[in-house]
Amino acid sequence: MSEETTLQDKLIESIRIEKVVVHISVGSDWERLQKAVKLLEYLTGQKPVIRRAKKTIKAFGISRKQPISTMVTLRGERAVEFLKRALQAVDMKLKSSSFDELGNISFGIKEHLMIPGVKYDPNIGVFGMDVNVHLVKPGYRVKLRRYRRSKLGKKNLVTKDEAIEFMRRRFNVEVV
C-alpha cells in the first residue's frame, strides 16, 4: 500500500504547468478591445494578441474576421505567479466541473478588480476574464515535436483526479 501511495505522490509531483492562457472577450467595440489589451498587458507583463471572429453571428452584430477578443499565453514563472493571483480572486475554490479529462483547468473571474493588487482605473473600466491552465507530465513533448512525433500512452496523460490533487497540493485549492 505504501509503495502505491509513493508512486502516486511521484506522479503528482512530476506534473507541471505547461501554460496559462488568459482571455478577455469584448465583442465588436474597438475602443473597449483596446482597453482590454492594455489591461492584459498590465496584469501579465506580456503583450497580448487580438483574436478575430471565425464566423458571422448577426444576432450579436459580429461579422467574420472582425476583432472581438484578446488573449495572452503565459509560460514558466509568469504563469505560476499569475495563476496564484487568479486563484486568490476566486477565493482558492474551483468547481470539479472546471477540470477536464486531459489535464486542463478553466475558470472565470467576473471582474479583474478581484485580483489582489489591482486598483480601479476609470480609463480602462471593468472586465471579466477566462483563465485556462494546461497541465502535463514529462514526455508530453513527444506528441508535439516535429521530428519522430508519436502518440502518448495513457500513463503520460494527466487525469482529472491527478489534476485536482496537483492543484490541492501545489496551490492549496479547495475543489467543490
| CA–CA distance, 171 with 176 (Å, rounded to integer) | 15
2-175 CATH pick, 3.30.1440.10, 3.80.10.10, 3.20.20.60, 1.10.260.40 = 3.30.1440.10
Nearest to 152 by CA among 166, 137, 164, 131: 137
Q: Which residue has the higher pLDDT, 155 or 40?
A: 40
Average pLDDT across the chain, whole number: 91
Least confident of 5-9, 33-37, 127-131, 135-139: 5-9
pLDDT tens readout for residues 43-100: 999 999 999 999 998 888 888 989 999 999 999 999 999 999 999 999 999 999 999 9
**Backbone dihedral region of 145: left (phi > 0), alpha (psi from -120 to 50 degrees) or beta?**
beta
For residues 103-113, average pLDDT = 94
- Dihedral of CA atoms 24, 46, 137, 161 in degrees, nearest 10, equals -30
Q: Which residue has the higher pLDDT, 122 or 154?
A: 122
| CA–CA distance, 54 with 119 (Å, rounded to integer) | 34
Domain ranges of the chain: 2-175
Q: Which three cell numbers stand for residue 2?
A: 505504501
Q: Which residue has the higher pLDDT, 11 or 141?
A: 141
Q: What's the Cα-to-Cα distance from 174 to each of 67, 90, 91, 99, 164, rounded to whole Å? A: 36, 11, 9, 13, 9
Q: Which residue has the higher pLDDT, 61 or 129?
A: 129
What does the pLDDT read at residue 3?
A: 63
For residues 144-163, average pLDDT = 89
In three-state secondary structure terms, 11 is helix
Residue whose grid cell is 465583442? 27
Least confident of 17-21, 29-33, 73-77: 29-33
Question: How many other CB atoms sit within 10 Å of the CB of residue 145?
Answer: 10
Q: Which three cell numbers stand for residue 28?
A: 465588436
Percent of the chain residues topping a pLDDT of 90: 70
Least confident of 15-19, 89-93, 140-144: 140-144
Least confident of 24-28, 89-93, 131-135: 24-28
Asked if 65 contacts 115 with a C-beta cutoff of 8 angstroms, the reply is no
